[in-house]
Structure 1
Amino acid sequence: MLDFKEILSVTLILFSVIDILGSIPIIINLRQKVGHIQSEKATIAAGVLMVLFLLVGKSILNLFGIGVDDFAIAGALIIFALGAEMILGIEIFKPDPEATNSASIVPIAFPLIAGAGTLTTILTLKSEYTQLNIGVGIVINLIIVYIVLKSTNWLERKLGKTGLDVLRRVFGIILLSIAIKIFKSNLFEGVSF
């Protein structure tokens, strides 16, 4: 059943993790190196990865004997690291500088949009929200990603470096809070005292 509050929460969480606005400098730099970036191709490839992970991610975990709670805690730690990276201005997760042949897929679709943080977050969200609402949140984020990829020049001019830095830090704080909430709610799942 569609729940507007859940969809809004999922959308905001994924928006923070994907951090497409914070990735604008990377996207602009790639475009300068390789020329044109195919927004449609990048968005579709990222969407396929996210939806596949939403649908079969749990089966993959079961194959390795990992519980969703365990993965949620690991996801919370990654989300925390992403948030710290955004606030402190450090680079923990580094894109592959040699992947310039197909910049629309690597590194834009993966790992920039649908990277480890995003895929971990999608599976982590399954412990809190319904699959349908997560799917709608993914679609909304893909629309946002597509619009941003299509309008990087305009966004760069309008927001400026300071505006992008402020947005990045605000979403970093949101991510830290989300990580702590997910960590607390999954830490003692299945543990009986």
Structure 2
Amino acid sequence: MNFSLISDFFIAIDFKEIFTASMILFAVIDIVGSIPIIVDLRRKVGHIQSEKASVVAGLLMIVFMFVGESMLSLIGIDVNSFAVAGAFIIFFIALEMILGVQLYKDDQPETAAIIPIAFPLIAGAGTLTSVLSLRSEYAAVNIIIAILVNILFVYIVLKNSGRIEKVLGKQGINVVRKIFGVILLAIAVKLFATNIKELF
């Protein structure tokens, strides 16, 4: 067993990075704001495969974090350019959350199978972009932990979406979305400012 690799793994763990990455992913995934869609899907098909949807979404994010950069290099795009593009996507997602408008995501899934729930509802374009953008700033282990924290939360929400909707109500869900929209807007500005310097 290579103990140096294990020690390096634990040394790289940074709770501040984990917390920040977790908050970013939580805001981008916006699983609380997706509760009305999830409830509607449950009504249509009767059952949502919470476990499979959560696992597939988590795997998508982790795999994309490691191979996304290679995929970009094949088409001649560096991580900083992608991170700046990601900042724009996060910015527009934040505007959606704050203003209550719909700029995209107009293709709502019609079944509760793994594909529409895991992708694009959980691990959509905004989430995958954010994961790769985070990779340019944070250690991989901290992002993986943040992904796992969010997937656990996603699983809990999928399992209890009906109860959560009753507790929060439409107004409560809207308030949560707006709060995280403001946080996400600030994160988008920081991400843009950090990576735009590397391009010039």
TM-score by length of 2: 0.91
* Unaligned segments of structure 1, at least 5 residues: none
Map Cα deviations across residues 21-75 of structure 1 (whole Å, 9 max, x no partner).
Answer: 0110111111111221110011011011101101111101111110101000000
Which ranges in structure 2 are unaligned for 5 or more consecutive residues? 1-11
- Aligned equivalent of 1:37: 48
The one of 97, 104, 109 equivalent to 2:113 is: 104
Counterpart contact for 2:25–2:130, Cα < 8 Å: yes
Supply the RMSD in Å over aligned alpha carbons: 1.1
Which AA in structure 2 matches 1:33?
K
Pick the aligned partner of 2:34 from 20, 23, 32. 23
**Corresponding position: 1:11 with 2:22:** yes
Residue 188 of structure 1: SS of its match in structure 2?
helix
Task: Report deviation, 1:190.
Answer: 4.3
Q: Percent identity?
A: 57
Of 177, 183, 188, 1:179 maps to 188
Aligned to 2:138: 129
Q: Greater CA deviation, 147-156 or 182-191?
A: 182-191
Asked if structure 1 preserves the Cα contact closer than 8 Å seen for 2:80 and 2:196, the reply is yes
Amino acid at match of 1:85: E
**1:83–1:176 CA contact under 8 A, matched in 2:** yes
Residue 51 of structure 1 corresponds to which residue in structure 2? Answer: 62
Runs of 4+ in 1 over 4 A off after TM superposition: none
What is residue 74 of structure 2 aligned with on the other side?
63
Residue from 10, 13, 32 that aligns with 1:2: 13
CA distance in 2 between partners of 1:108 and 1:143 (Å): 15
Counterparts of 1:100 and 1:182, CA distance in 2: 34
Does structure 2 retain, via aligned residues, the 8 Å contact 1:7–1:133? yes
Structure 2 residue 177 is matched with structure 1 residue 168: yes
1:59-104 deviation line (CA, Å, top 9, x unaligned):
011111101010000000000000000011111222434x434x23
